[in-house]
Amino acid sequence: MAAAAGSSTLAPVAPPPLPTAADKLPLDKLKVAQGLKLEVYAAGVPNARTLRLGDKGTVFVSSRVQDKVHALVTKDGKREMKVVASGLHRPNGIALHKGTLYIAELSQISKIDNIEDNLDNPPKPTVILADLPKDEPHGWKYLTVGPDEKLYFQVGAPCNICLPSDRHGRIYRVGIDGKGLEVYAYGIRQIVGMDWHPTLKQLYFSENARDWLSEDIPEDKLNRVTQPGKDHFGYPYCHQGNFTDPELGWGRSCEEFTKPVALVGPHSAALGIKFYTGDGLGNEYRNVLFMARHGSWNRSVKIGGDVVTIRLNDDGTFKSMEPFITGFIQNNNYVGRPVDILPMPDGALLVSDDFNGAVYRVSRK
C-alpha cells in the first residue's frame, strides 16, 4: 500500500518514552513460527535494547535514548527490575564477562565487577576506555566480548553519508582492561548487532546502509570479518557489495571491498544477531542465526519489523533467510520494534522491543 501524497511517512520513528503497560502489549498481533509460542517476559523496561545474561541468571537490558541499564531478576516466578547504572549517555552497548558488566556509552566504556552480587547496591561504573568520538549520529555502540577475551565495539559514521574521519566507521577491539586499542575492521556505517560464529569463531555483524539514496537501494547487510585488521566493508564508497555511491563512489570499485554475507532488505534496520546453539526450540533451529530487523523509516512502505532466521552453509556463507516473528508492522505503522535476541539456558529465546519497553519470550508450545 503506497502512502498517500502529502502524508509522508518518512521520518525517524522515536520510541515512546514511557513503556507500554503489560496488558496493552501487541501480543495478539505478533506471529511466531509454527510450534512455538510468544509471551511477555518483562514489561515496563524503558527503551529495552541490548540483552545480556549473567552467570547467575540475571538478564541485563540496556537502553539507547534513556540513561539507565536495568537488571531483570526472577524471584518466586516473578520478574523484578532493578536499576544497575544510571546517569549514562546512550548506554546501548553492554556485555558480560566473568561476572563483570561492561557498558559502552557514546564516548566511553566502563565496567562494574561482580555485578550479580551487587544488584541492590551496585557501585558506580569504573571507566576503562575514555575519549572516544562524541558525535551523536551513530554514536551509540554495540559491545561484545570475543573468543580472545577482548572487547569489540564500533565507532559509526557521524552522518548519513560522508567521508568519515580516520577515527570513525570502524570496528575496534581493546583488552578487557581497556588497554591495547586497535582497529579490527574498516568501512562500516553503523552496527547494532555482532556475534561470533560458534565453530568458525569469526565475527558476524549486521550493518545499516545509507538513507536518502532510494527507497529500494541500498540494502542492509550481514557481514563477517575473515581478515582481522584488513577487511574494509565499503562505506562510504560502495554499498551492498555491488553499488558505488553516486557522490563518493566515483573512481572506486566494489571489487576493492569485502563482500557481504547476505543482503537483508533496504532500510530494514538489521540490529541484533545471535547464533543459536541450544536445542530448546527444536532441532531445526540448531546453529541458525537469528536477526532482529528493527524496521524502516526512510521508506514509504515500511519493511522489516520482524525477527528472521538466517541459515548458513558450513563455510559460513549464506544459505537462506526466513521469517520467525512477524507482525510488528500493522497498516504501515509500528506496534513494536524488535532490537536484540538472547538465547536462554532453557532453550527459550528472549527478544527486546524498544518501542514498547518490553522483553518477550519465545519457547516451544
Applying CB under 8 A, the residues found at the interface with another protein are: 6, 8, 10-14, 16-18, 64-67, 89-90, 134-140, 158-160, 162, 212
* Cell digits of residue 21: 503497560
One-letter amino acid at 91 equals P
Is the Cβ of residue 49 or residue 111 nearer to another protein in the bound state? 49
Nearer to another protein, 160 or 287 (CB): 160
**Grid cell at residue 222:** 550481514
- Contact at 8 Å (CB) between 59 and 52? yes
The minimum distance between CB 71 and another protein, in angstroms, equals 19
- Report how far residue 111's alpha carbon sits from residue 169's, in angstroms, rounded to the nearest whole number: 24
Whole-angstrom distance, CA of residue 73 vs CA of residue 150: 27
Rounded-to-10 torsion of CA 8, 337, 271, 137 = 50
For residue 317, the one-letter residue type is T
8 A C-beta contact, residue 360 and residue 351: yes
User: Is residue 230 within 8 Å of 256, Cβ to Cβ?
Assistant: no
Residue 10 or 303 having the CB closest to another protein:
10
C-beta of 134 vs 167, nearer to another protein? 134
Q: Please state the closest distance from residue 23 (CB atom) to another protein, in A.
A: 16
> Please, are residues 182 and 203 in contact by the beta-carbon 8 Å criterion?
no
Nearer to another protein by C-beta: 20 or 309?
A: 20
Nearer to another protein by C-beta: 164 or 265?
A: 164
> Cβ closer to another protein: 63 or 100?
63
Are 328 and 305 in contact, with CB atoms under 8 Å apart?
Answer: yes
Query: Least Å distance between CB 106 and another protein?
Result: 8
The minimum distance between CB 333 and another protein, in angstroms, equals: 10
| Shorter beta-carbon distance to another protein: residue 164 or 193 | 164
Compute the least distance from the CB of residue 14 to another protein, in Å.
Answer: 4
C-alpha distances out from residue 214 to 12, 246, 270, 300, 329, Å: 16, 11, 18, 10, 21
Helices then strands (H, E): number in the chain?
A: 0, 29
Shortest distance in whole angstroms from residue 116 CB to another protein: 26
How far is residue 323's CA from residue 265's CA, in Å, rounded to a whole number? Answer: 13
Q: What is the dihedral of CA 313, 314, 317, 319, to 10 degrees?
A: 0
Provide, rounded to whole angstroms, the least separation between the CB of residue 137 and another protein. Answer: 4
Compute φ and ψ for 9, nearest 5 degrees. -100, 10
Task: Classify 116 as helix, strand or coil.
Answer: helix
Query: What is the nearest approach in angstroms of another protein to the Cβ of residue 4?
Result: 13
Nearest distance from residue 365's CB to another protein, in Å? 35
Contact call for residues 304 and 296 (beta carbons, < 8 A) = yes
Cis peptide before 236 (omega within 30 of 0): yes
Q: Min. distance of Cβ 260 from another protein in angstroms? A: 24
Residue 28: partners with Cβ closer than 8 Å, 6 or more residues away? none
- Tell me how far apart the alpha carbons of residues 231 and 154 are, in angstroms, rounded to a whole number: 14
Name which of 14 and 179 has its Cβ closer to another protein.
14
Residue 3 or 217: the one with the smaller Cβ distance to another protein is 3
